[in-house]
Structure 1
């Protein structure tokens, strides 16, 4: 089923079909009969993207750019398959991600380490490599033309070191991947959105995430287009909430005792309590049980990422001792 939402300024969101409805958005920017696609979802998302292009009257030959915010597979797993269907498009990805697009074997191994091989294959299918000559490294400050529109790359680590956000000068908005957090429409109250950080494995770095958020806020965007899930406004309010919640989640992780499973369980319990308090503070639309059920996968991955970050801090401290 095609789930296409048309926003202002030629920006359209199509549900990737990943996981559940309105979990992961793929954005299509249309200008002067040309198109750019931001993030690709998984292999199973490709027919949805092609269907959305057809609904918008855009031929596959008119897609100039496929831009990846980062190479986690819920954002980039379908990149190779989609590029096969877009004969003139070029793939734009952080320089750290280029080799993983031309040879996805290490990316696949890392994904299997998080989900296990069977679950990873069920989620993402077989990864398709992209020819090197079709890839453009997304260096900081790179400007791309889409008809008369300018898209600019911002290097935005914190969620991952291979993360970029895309500034759309016409829309005065960023396409933020995961750097500007998660905001699910099921929690909205009278159109008022809420947000939470994503600290998923394996490259969460709180100070870098704070800096990336501030760098984006300095552009005074009118909106943010999140992969999870699409358009939000009231950007300053949500940015402040992100900063507060990053620090709160880090404090929970630092207070956790022990190692391994015991520590993970303690971190996860702490994250669940943060969400209970946030639901009460913000008067979210879902009740407590429904909220925790909606956020269950994200909280589990956040707890894993915070554990990896704690271990990296210990290694760094040992190396500098």
Structure 2
């Protein structure tokens, strides 16, 4: 299931308080999606790693109540206490927890209570974990626990990641490179012994490395530490070839600007345009942009227009759009 569809499905199940387990390889954004849902709904969010707990930690610690003359259980402070009426209790990496800890979660997940503790009515439970084939330290989930969840499997999607990256201001060279090499968004081989590999999460790290403006001699080892040496070398070579770009401001002012011949540069330029233009861009800017797009190779021109339309930019109201349509209509079928 792709990220946007996964997010929509999780959101529905959170509303209905149906326990959900989200499966997927490392680094594709499982926890980020759940956190985003909580933020968009304006509800609480608690990230609980059961792998860090002992079986007794979840149930709480017993103490003697002198007034009642009996032993009672003090619930742990890390569980929702009702101060926030609604929220998501996120059990990340649940299947990395020891079997006894997983067993202690049975009652909490199904009955929404454990020992003396009861989960507040407005809170939903979402769990996540890597698959057994992902080279992680995981324990096979017992059938009684697995049957307490609705299971969804998430996968990465280069097109959806590109649109997200543009909205978040990810460096244009990264977006451009992954537009040219969509397979490089996620390169995880469970049989490989390499410690660094490309995932959506590690590409975010590459963006942070670039934004930190390290010394030239540090750029390669830092990026290699995020996505691996071979891919880092390819990305930096590609980035260097795409470094000579026309002045985007001049393009948007309607001034004459050269069209790059290097496909790498065209990918970066397309990413820069889509990140720069939005629904509030003046009509005269859009007219200038369309005039320039008609000079680009057809596949790049169509890609930019489709991306802008997906973002709600009303190019159709421009006079130059009619000319653009006549020129590239045969590619839109």
Say whether the fold is shared (TM-score over 0.5).
no
Give the structure with higher Rg (CA): 2
TM-score by length of 1: 0.28
Structure in which a larger fraction of residues adopt strand: 1
Normalised by the size of structure 2, how large is the TM-score?
0.28
Q: Which has the higher helix share?
A: 2
Greater relative contact order (Cα < 8 A, sep 6+): 2
